[in-house]
Structure 1
Amino acid sequence: MTTDTNAEVEADAADAVPTFSDLGLSDAVLKAVREIGYETPSAIQAATIPPLLAGRDVVGLAQTGTGKTAAFALPILSRLDVSQKTPQALVLSPTRELALQVCEAFEQYASQMRGVHVLPVYGGQAYGVQLSALRRGVHVVVGTPGRIMDHLAKGTLDLSELKYLVLDEADEMLKMGFAEDVETILADTPDDKQVALFSATMPAAIRRISKQYLNDAEEITVKNKTTTSANTTQRYLMVSYPQKVDALTRILEVENFEGMIVFVRTKSETETLAEKLRARGYSAAAISGDVVQAQRERTVNQLKSGKLDILVATDVAARGLDVDRISHVINYDIPIDTESYVHRIGRTGRAGRSGAAISFVTPRERRLLGAIEKATRQPLTEMRLPSVDDVNVTRLARFDDAITAALEQQERIAAFRDIVGHYVEHHDVPEADVAAALAVVAQGDTPLLLTDDPRSRRPERDDRGTGRGDYSDGAQGGRGGRDDRGDRSSYGNTDARGERAERQPRSSKPMSQYRIEVGKRHKVEPRQIVGALANEGGLGRDDFGHIQIRPDFSLVELPADMPGDVLERLRDTRISGKLIEIRPDRRGGARSIEESRRTTPRSGSSYGDRAERGDRGGAGSDRGADSQRAERKPRHK
């Protein structure tokens, strides 16, 4: 079997592009395409659909986000025999997410065809659901190679009458170790089937498969001027590590977004960041490889339906997620390879829609930024961090919009007008003052406008010790926790630019000792305890005394006059996933912080002391913890 190169398509807007009606698709498929809103086919679709309809094997080379799914789904549906109940088309996808996306696309394109059944087959889903559907009869099977192999081994998937086989993202399948499975599946299917292979690149393994299993294939290459969508605006923000949460929150305030994916590097950070966003009033959820498949599907469906606005994800979501609502992609942690960057931002600006991608870049990640610009052949525009004034302008505009929307409800307005008039008449208060008072009631304890005083902000730490600044009380900028390399640095105050602010005096307030049920065996450190308690209880740097971490529990000194409601909130706090169950330690009475310092061994850990020692290495410093320790002079009794 041979593969010939017969066509090469330049993706140039100046080229004449046919309409879907010119491609020879069936009437039912054309009707569905019109209802979806597609107007003109993309370059890969215009070049691929005619040969597939003619029955030829095809090798399509195109980047992600160019419309490859419709390129093979539309011709397959146009030639489908609905009366045949055994599978006629098999689409192999590298990931479960991509398999689900392709399955949904098939169902959408077949909306005007009666009796077409499409089945996703992937690992993580119960066999019972798949077996029941296969027994009833399906026309199109979309699955991952591993689960398809399982069904073939069990004899539950009959491919004897297969007519069409598609390898989607073939290079990715081989990269993920599915080469043997793919070749086994190809060898076990009928020789007279039609094969379409789609890939972003053409490595030697793909070339070998195409020559061995495809018959006189037409190779179609779509060359883009850049590897990223022209519909996506790409920006970057220079930001120190402790600033990231605040920077993200400000961007959420001023950017007009529908749905958003925030990409982070680690699984643990997904839930940590999602929890911080939820605490700030945003509808956010986490998704990673550790989340069970059923939960991942529910989360994606919530994003599609509008019940969820922000998805915090690792690269597991970079492929296969095609949600119309995703208008923004945020690279909270910039990817270390350019391919991941392309796939990440490919989640927005798809199929002609506009999108925005913003990457957070620390000073030490400039090299990665340069590599991305070189690979995509497209410069990223630097943006500035939205200021307090920018945020306040946006908040006031939304407040105005809310008033305008309320004024349109005349029936309810009339009822409240009488109530307000009664109050004005009996209390002799101007109507403007009453309106302002009602706004205060509606706003609650959350201030409408931010303040621009970074020194009045309480510290916040997360489980990674980043020390990011809290935002819920109009704050920006955190007190340090790590520098840009991720090294531990001492606790210090930082302003909005990550620079060290003046040290605030510590109080000598009476302290009491509290016991929390996390210790060394839970792998906790003082910074995690400080961060969790500060965040949940609204505590400041002078509210912490000595911290002792024992094997199974820890002892923390907190203000003796701590309100009961604060203690109640702290009881529900978790550190390293464990409920801390905070309670007073009866062995330790109230004492001043100065007394605590005099009676504490040098090896103890005090948050206040650590903050004071952090003058030379606060957040944003380029010097690591090792160099800080080298600079310190030894203490002598």
Structure 2
Amino acid sequence: MTTFKETGLSPEVLKAIDELGFITPTPIQVQTIPTLLKSEKDLVALAQTGTGKTAAFGLPIIDQVQIGEATVQALILCPTRELCLQISEDLKRFSKYRRGLDVQAVYGGTEIRNQIKAIKGGCQVIAGTPGRVNDLINRNILKLDNIKWLVLDEADEMLNMGFKEELDAIIGSTPQGRQTLLFSATMSPEISGMANRYMHNRDEISVGSKNSGSKNITHSYFMVHARDRYDALKRLADIYPGIYGIVFCRTRQETKDIAEKLISDGYNAEALHGDLSQVQRDNVMARFKSRHLQILVATDVAARGIDVNELTHVINYNLPDDPEVYIHRSGRTGRAGRKGESIAIIHTKEKGKLQSIERLGKISFEHRQVPNGPEICQKQLLHFIEKVEQTEVNQDQISPLMDEVYAKLANIDRDELIKRFVTAEFNTLLDYYNDSPDLNVRKEDGRNERKGGKGYTRMFINLGKASNFNPPSLFNLIESYTGKRGIDLGRIEVLRNFSFFEIAPEWVTPIVNALNNQTYNGERLLVEPAASKGEDERPARAKGEKRFGSKFSGKKEYQKDFKRDFKSDKKPRSFKRK
């Protein structure tokens, strides 16, 4: 199949997409459109974001909706307001020549009365977010008795955002005879469970490998000390003067801090996070989509639903704990056949995370060196010269001024003039990068960090999985009781009844003083430096006995028993040294 005409779509729909410039369907569209036009079986479609999923399910639905019926026949659920609006606008364009077909978007964060009025006026297709759709169903405004198509778009994202209860309620309101279409970028156990619960006699279509990254994206990482992470980010922004990308951070406070630093350092950046009002969010997104912003600093939750095809880079200021989240992040670049680059800024403790991402996503990271000052200055200069070459001169405006300019510069020869021109333009940048340090981690630095010499201090906390404790809980505890945000943490290990985390040495005393004897879900906290790895790392006060050594008669026996002790939180059995 080489054109949309071969998919079986009606002349009215083909005319609309032809005007939009659509000629050749994408791989997911090639497999999905003919299937949905001929079959009423449920369908699971796995494909990365940016592969044309909206047209893949939207075109056959638009083609088959009964215009004479003023009831809701298709419901498309998606995770965010932005994606909801994008889908509804696309469907309206696809249905341009299907007169009488009405598409409505319903979402939170805006006045509900207008959406109620639109539904009561009659529409056949609704794109909505789970929260608002569920609200409209509970108000007895949105009736799904005649639903023929139920689409779960970016289903993995909806589950990650905690919409499971809303999805269960909505799907329970739809008739049994509906056709359910589940679109997802990854096939996680949760998605498999959802498919098993809600779908029967289904087909599955996959473009590329499950949970794999796009082939249009290159993946690289830069290894620096944790304290140099922001300086490395600035150098990457400088070495890519034409960057148009997203910087992903772990927390909304970190997002704010990094964006504020970039702005104060003269970068064209802005933050996108959960504390913004809908009006503020819309303003930031409008500026970003129109490319008035080069760098958007965002959390994973805030970035969901962003639909921009031209992104050149995705930068992971922090690697996510879940490898699937990295695949989602990287999938925001390299869209619509374009090339993209996904970059991770890591410290020496994060190589394990990279390896997990490589295994899950079937990708390979290239280790690259953080650029030095001369490299950046040369790249910036060449970019500026290219910009000068491409600048169009408005003769009417500039000509009257040139006589005086020529007179001022008459005594300076060509070479000297160019040197002064470049110096005037780049003086600040040249001064900043003069004798700039090497930010790359040397092998001996990595060894020192692993020994605890220059890196993190390993800490113990008496909370674990049994207390519903997890890495975000640790960040919240530290921020709540210290009043400080963005404190640099290393590796976090959450066990059943207690956990270990790594932190910069200068924060050990402040955190011990701030957290000890505080409470978490009714439990009094104990936080202390842990012993070196290989020993029983629980502090003596936590276990009531002396630590035991690291050399044992049987390594396998030690690992087996120590693992069992961790799970049961029993006192470790003593071992005799040889």
Q: TM-score, normalised by structure 2?
A: 0.69
CA contact (8 A) 2:309 2:336 kept: no
* Deviation by residue 1:441-499 (Cα, 9 ceiling, x = unmatched): 974974566542248x9xxxxxxxxxx9xxxxxxxxxxxxx9754999xxxxxxxxxxx
One-letter amino acid of the structure 1 residue matched with residue 435 of structure 2: D
Partner Cα distance (1:265, 1:407) in 2: 43
Structure 2 residue aligned with 1:227: 212
Counterpart in the other structure of 1:243: 228
Indicate the residue corresponding to 1:374 in structure 2.
359
SS of 1:336's partner is coil
Report the Cα distance in structure 2 between the residues aligned to 1:69 and 1:285, rounded to whole angstroms.
28
Structure 1 Cα separation of the partners of residues 289 and 101 of structure 2: 23
The answer to whether the aligner puts 1:316 opposite 2:301 as a matched pair is yes
Equivalence map 1:175-574=2 (5 Å): 176-200=161-185, 210=195, 214=199, 216-224=201-209, 227-255=212-240, 257-405=242-390, 408-423=393-408, 429-430=411-412, 432=414, 435=417, 439=421, 443=425, 446-447=428-429, 450-454=432-436, 485=456, 523=483
Q: Alpha carbons of 1:201 and 1:312: their partners in 2 closer, same or farther (altered >3 Å)?
A: closer
After superposition, the Cα gap between the structure-2 partners of 1:438 and 1:385, relative to the gap in structure 1 and judged at 3 Å, is: closer
Post-superposition offset of 1:143: 1.5
**Distance in 2 (alpha carbons) for counterparts of 1:399 and 1:314:** 32
Q: CA deviation at 1:419?
A: 0.8
Residue in 2 that maps onto 1:53? 37
Contact 1:270/1:287 (<8 A) preserved: yes
CA-to-aligned-CA distance 1:79-125 (integer Å, 9 cap, x gap): 23445443221011234444334334324434555554433222222
Report deviation, 1:182.
2.6
CA gap of 1:423–1:339, structure 2 versus 1, over 3 A, is closer
Measure the CA separation in 2 of the matches of 1:209 and 1:121.
23
| d(CA) in 1 for partners of 2:317, 2:457 | 14
1:300–1:32 CA distance, 2 compared to 1 (3 A): farther
CA contact (8 A) 1:62 1:222 kept: yes
Deviates more, 1:296-305 or 1:327-336: 296-305
Note the C-alpha offset of 1:239: 1.4
CA distance in 1: counterparts of 2:150 and 2:302, whole angstroms: 25
Q: Residues 285 and 362 from structure 1, CA distance in 2 versus in 1: closer, same or farther, beyond 3 angstroms? A: same
Aligned length: 454
Alignment check: 8 A CA contact 1:95 1:319 kept: yes
Structure with a larger share of its residues in helix: 2
Q: Secondary structure at the match of 1:141?
A: strand
SS of match in other structure, 2:44: strand
Instruction: Tell me the alpha carbon deviations over residues 550-596 of structure 1, each in whole angstroms, 9 at most, x when there is no partner.
Output: xxxxxxxxxxxxxxxxxxxxxxxxxxxxxxxxxxxxxxxxxxxxxxx
1:44 corresponding residue in structure 2: 28
Which runs of 5 or more structure 1 residues have no equivalent in the other structure? 1-16, 458-467, 469-481, 489-520, 528-637
State the alpha-carbon separation in 1 of the partners of residues 168 and 391 from structure 2: 63
Residue of structure 2 aligned with 1:139, choices 124, 141, 147? 124
CA separation of 1:218 and 1:177: change in aligned 2, threshold 3 A? same
Separation of aligned partners in 1, 2:89 and 2:19: 15
* Aligned Cα root-mean-square deviation (Å): 3.7
Indicate the SS of the match to 2:288.
helix
After TM superposition, give the deviation of residue 386 of structure 1 in Å.
Answer: 1.5
Q: Deviations over 1:342-383 (max 9, x none)?
A: 011011112322111111011111111111112222210111
Pair 1:97–1:136, CA change in 2 (3 A): same
Whether the 8 Å CA contact 1:241–1:362 is kept in 2: the answer is: yes
Q: Give the number of the structure whose alpha-carbon radius of gyration is greater.
A: 1
Contact conserved, 1:48 with 1:72, CA < 8 A, in 2? yes
Q: What's the % identity of the aligned pairs?
A: 39
Alpha-carbon distance change, 414 to 67 in structure 1, aligned in 2, over 3 angstroms: closer
Q: Is the 8 A contact 1:318 1:343 kept in 2?
A: no
Change (3 A) 1:407 1:209: closer
> What TM-score comes out, normalization by structure 1 length?
0.63
Partner SS for 2:205: strand
Counterpart CA distance in 2 for 1:368 and 1:211 is 30
1:310–1:437 Cα change, 3 Å: same
Distance 1:213 1:224, change over 3 A: closer
Question: How far apart are residue 234 of structure 1 and its match?
Answer: 0.8
Picking from 119, 125, 128, the partner of 2:110 is 125
Do the aligned partners of residues 136 and 448 (structure 1) sit closer, same or farther apart at CA in structure 2, a change above 3 Å counting?
farther
Q: Structure 2, unaligned stretches of length 5 or more?
A: 440-452, 460-480, 488-578
